[in-house]
Structure 1
């Protein structure tokens, strides 16, 4: 069973907390996750690469909705967590969305 967390007090505040295309590292309950907003879509995923535990917070986001690991440049689909290049397990993702109440994440 997942637990619901809300970041920000409202939609505008959430947008200000999470600039478009920037990876933010946040603590949600007892879990650290990376958050990325691309226009109206919000993605939440594990903060360490499943390959060699590099910090994805230090990675980059490309225009195809992928996060790129800073260590070996493996690419992961931020929506599904699927590894798109490289040989390692898929990335764990968490349901997240931008709402009128803020950014809602389910851990």
Structure 2
């Protein structure tokens, strides 16, 4: 944890896991703004994820898309698929998306954004 504390600025986005699940049900997406960046917060059957809201293909909002059973987010514009764990574009047609760590703590749900050096 100490290494991650020095690499990331942690932002509390929900007061609890219960609140996160109520506001972002399974298979739903929610757009957040942290440090002037648009972040897509996703909830799937395997957990919570954070990924850049801007599709690397042509810049459309990923939070307007959907998720699938493969733990991918699907851009609503051209159906490009990005793995929520790694950000990898699944068909190698576009650059990968940026993902961010999500931590579930006793005092809430946090997203880590890399510290600027």
Which residue is 1:19 aligned to? 25
Q: What is the root-mean-square deviation in Å for CA atoms of aligned residues? A: 1.5
Which residue is 1:84 aligned to? 90
Tell me, in whole angstroms, the C-alpha distance in 2 between the residues paired with 1:39 and 1:70.
Answer: 20
Tell me, in whole angstroms, the C-alpha distance in 2 between the residues paired with 1:12 and 1:26.
Answer: 18
Gaps of at least 5 residues in structure 2 are: 1-6
Q: How many residues align?
A: 107
The offset of 1:99, in angstroms, is: 2.8
Gaps of at least 5 residues in structure 1 are: none
Tell me, in whole angstroms, the C-alpha distance in 2 between the residues paired with 1:74 and 1:86.
Answer: 9
Which residue is 2:70 aligned to? 64
Tell me, in whole angstroms, the C-alpha distance in 2 between the residues paired with 1:29 and 1:10.
Answer: 21
Tell me, in whole angstroms, the C-alpha distance in 2 between the residues paired with 1:13 and 1:22.
Answer: 14
Q: How does 1:45-56 map to 2 (within 5 A)?
A: 45-56=51-62
Q: What is the TM-score when the length of structure 2 is the normalising length? A: 0.83
Over alpha carbons, which structure has the higher Rg?
Answer: 2
Residues 31-86 of structure 1: CA distance to partner in whole angstroms, max 9, x if unpaired?
Answer: 21000112462110011110100111111100110011111111110110011025
Tell me, in whole angstroms, the C-alpha distance in 1 between the residues paired with 2:106 and 2:23.
Answer: 14
Moved over 3 A (4+): none
* 33-42 or 88-97, which deviates more: 33-42
